[in-house]
Amino acid sequence: MSERKVLQDLLKSITYYDEEAASAAAEKAVEEGVDSIEAIEHGVAIGLKKIGEDYERGEIFLPELMMGANAAQKALKILLENMPQGSDYRGQGRIVIGTVEGDIHDIGKNIVAAMLRANGFDIVDLGVDVSIQRFVDSVKKFKPDVLGMSALLTNTMPKQEEVIQALKRENVRDSVRVILGGVPVTEEWVKKIGADDLGKDAMDTIQKLKKICEINEI
């Protein structure tokens, strides 16, 4: 099988929202010895870009976007496991994202994560009820451009502040931009606790992240 065909299959598995096909195509790529970065950039990323554009044009809807992002995730997992030692894939930028401790709401965060993936960002999703220490450890380990913290309850919002304090204590606050999300979170809160920005909704978050990551590249 030619490399071109492998890349085509990867791309198609995403635009057909087909998780199984995505895994199969990624395994094939590894088997055929296609360079993982090449497979991601010329296969997965192009598929993601296509569904991201279709979504923005209103041609496809959230369930399709989510399923496409899931398919891409399957392929990425396999390809990243087979990366040559020392190489690092960060896409448009790396984002560590999670819902704070005591909060199990993840619908908004999942939509944001899927849309960010569709826009080519490398997402490390820590899930829900994420402890302060886990946020700090993940910033150290993954060295993200941005840390995104979601809180849907007014009584879990203070955890966002505690994470920022912990980042400062462990001297990593300056290495990362902190964006907050969640229905009760306001601009005032962002300022008050010393975060960098507010993602009002998924589209707003994407636009802000694109700006941040462009700046980081320069």
Partner 1 sequence: MNVLSNDEVDEIYQASLKILEETGVAFQQEDALTLFHKNGAQVDFEKSIVKFPSSLVEDLIKKVPKEYTLYHRDSEKRIDIADGTAHFQIGDYAGYILDYRTGERRRSTLKDLQNIIRLDDALDSFDLFEPPVMPLDVPSSMTQIKVVETMFKNTTKPSLMGLIIEPKEGRYILKMAEAVAGGEEALRKKPLMGILCQPTSPLIYAKEVIEKMNDCVRKGVPLSIIAAPTCGMTAPVTIAGWLTIGIAEVLAATVYAQLIAAKTPVVTGLATNVMNLRDGNLNIASPEAALCSAASIQIVHHLGLLGVAQGGTDSKIPSIQTGYEKMLSILYTLLAGAEVYGLATLDDWGTTAMEQHVIDAEIVEAIKRILQGIDVTPETLALDVIKEVGVGGSYLSHKHTFKNFRKEHWIPELSFRESWETLKRKNRKTIVDNAESKVAKILQDHRPEPLDKDVQKQLETITKEAEKELSAS
Least separation in angstroms between CB 38 and partner 1: 34
Q: Nearest CA to 68 among 42, 94, 44, 91?
A: 44
Q: Which CB, 1 or 203, lies closer to partner 1?
A: 203
- Name the residue nearer to partner 1 (CB basis): 112 or 195: 112
Shortest distance in whole angstroms from residue 154 CB to partner 1: 7
Q: Closer CB to partner 1, residue 33 or residue 58? A: 58
Rounded to the nearest whole angstrom, what is the least distance from the CB of residue 201 to partner 1 in the complex? 7
Binding site for partner 1 (CB under 8 A): 58, 61-63, 107-108, 111, 154, 201-203
Which residue's CB is nearer to partner 1, number 44 or number 65? 65
Task: Of 113, 74, 139, give the one whose Cα is nearest residue 202.
Answer: 113
In the bound complex, what is the minimum distance in angstroms from residue 112's beta carbon to partner 1?
9
How many CB atoms sit inside 10 A of residue 34's CB? 23
Please say which residue, 18 or 103, places its beta carbon nearer to partner 1: 103
**CA separation for the pair 114, 118 (Å, rounded):** 6
- State the minimum distance, in angstroms, from the CB of residue 120 to partner 1: 19
Measured in degrees and rounded to the nearest 5, phi and psi for residue 121 equal -80, 150
Run of H or E including 148: strand 146-150
What's the alpha-carbon Rg for the chain, to the nearest Å? 18
Q: Which residues does 87 contact at the CB level (< 8 Å), separation at least 6?
A: 36, 37
